[in-house]
Amino acid sequence: MTIVRESFYIDGTWVSATSGATLTVTTSGSGEPYATVPEGTVDEANRAVDAAAAAFTSWSRTTPAERAEFLQRIADQLAQRSDEIALTIAHEVGMPLALAKGIQVGLPTATFADNARRTRDFTWEEVVGNSLLVREPVGVVVAITPWNYPLHQIANKVAAALGAGCTVVLKPSEVAPINAFLLADIIDDVGLPHGVFNLITGVGSVVGEALVAHPRTDMVSFTGSTRAGKRVMQIAAEMVKRVSLELGGKSANVILPDADLSRAIPDGVFKCYLNSGQTCSALTRMVVPRSRLAEIEDLAVNAAANLAPADPVSGSSLLGPLVSAAQLQRVRDYITTGVNEGARLLCGGVTPPAGLENGYYVTPTIFSDVSNDMTIAREEIFGPVLCLIPYDTKEEAIAIANDSSYGLAGGVWAGTDEEALEVARQLRTGQVEINGGAFNVVAPFGGYKQSGVGRELGQYGFEEFLEVKAIQRP
């Protein structure tokens, strides 16, 4: 049965869409229709911003304790509805249920709870000399979010903005929007004041651009492609609006010669393939010592073989399909390009996995003898495609890792943490994990170069939504 959502959440109520046009969401495992959502118009986008602007004065004057209470209640309801939300995202995005509950729902739940604590405990004022420094909310925030970790990216923006005292208009990706409607249901249930949170769906070229261009929008927080991020920045620059961008990545995973390959290589393959490679911070370039290339190739192929894809809802694999037919074709085109440019295909390719001809599945793919000037090493593929790039010296490995227009994430494996840390300090990227270090939901996330501007999560993500006022006293 297809899910049908016919209304937008504007000014504290569900408002029927006016155009009658809809957008279809498919289920990644089969390609069949899963849901429809309304396609918003410029007028509806403007109405959502106006509602947020009208609500800002009263919301910004609430106490931090009041705002923290709302955030905690949202976190509690996300936890209570985690099974339902995880199933929704498994259908929309294709992340297997075994992972979706912990990652796609667990991370946003933790983020709302962290921002509740942060709002309550934050130092809102301090004295510097004869000045009183006051942190104040930036104003009306437009949050435009992607489909790959849809609720996680929503929470990164919405939780921090609400805690800071901002009001929000959310435009989720039309590819995976149903989880955003579930969040709006929860926000309505907890009784957030009218206009503080607003939800509208539609295409970026219409609704997204209208939200960014609206004169009452004070800040845009965008996660998506670098191309779209540049467009957001261009529009926002016309009115000198604050912009926070979390964009693409082509992250390098540097394997040093003395690393424990039995741990490093399977970990690196999984970090590349998580969410079927649809992760902006995926470690898609494995920079490996040429002297151990054959050994690494065998370990990588074996690790990929253990991640055979399966249906994300009914299957037991940790690897599911891609999100859409368009994404499937994009990844296949990149695989073909890799072969044509001379990379050596170790496993995978464009042929769909046996028995999974329906849906958007790609066989886990590994290329070796990749040079860093090849297309598959330069451009973000967003699929389960790993590039093995050999090097001869540590200095060359660092140079290869840094030779990218992106700088979002990275990894280093070495015989000791001290050696890994020494290399990590030289990587021009926003996050680096060493020897398999785990993702930290309260550490700042964001990139160098064309991977973005600003940070999300934790203290630094919270402060993105604040202005600093200096009041000089006699």
Q: Which structure tokens are listed for 347?
A: 């496993």
Q: What does DSSP assign to residue 178?
A: H
> In angstroms, rounded to a whole number, what is the distance separating the alpha carbons of residues 271 and 66?
39
CB neighbour class for 116 (10 Å; exposed up to 12, middle 13-18, buried from 19): buried
Cα-trace Rg, the chain: 22
**347 to each of 266, 290, 339, 353, how far by Cα in Å?**
15, 19, 12, 12
Which three-class secondary structure state does DSSP give residue 462?
helix
> What is the length of the chain?
474
**50 to each of 68, 293, 333, 359, 466, how far by Cα in Å?**
24, 58, 43, 40, 20
Residue 347 bears catalytic tag = no
> In angstroms, rounded to a whole number, what is the distance separating the alpha carbons of residues 170 and 144?
6
**Could you tell me if 94 and 145 are in contact, meaning their C-beta atoms sit under 8 angstroms apart?**
no
Residue 246 bears catalytic tag = yes
Query: On the CB side of 295, how many CA atoms lie within 13 Å of its CA?
Result: 14
**Could you tell me if 288 and 257 are in contact, meaning their C-beta atoms sit under 8 angstroms apart?**
no
Q: Which structure tokens are listed for 319?
A: 């690897």
> In angstroms, rounded to a whole number, what is the distance separating the alpha carbons of residues 364 and 350?
10
> In angstroms, rounded to a whole number, what is the distance separating the alpha carbons of residues 387 and 74?
40
Residue partners of 253: CB distance under 8 A and separation at least 6: 268, 271, 272, 283, 285, 286, 287, 410, 411, 412, 413
Which three-class secondary structure state does DSSP give residue 230?
helix
Which residue in the list 246, 297, 419, 463 is annotated as catalytic? 246
Which residue in the list 92, 166, 174, 280 is annotated as catalytic? 280
Which three-class secondary structure state does DSSP give residue 357?
coil
Catalytic residues: 246, 280
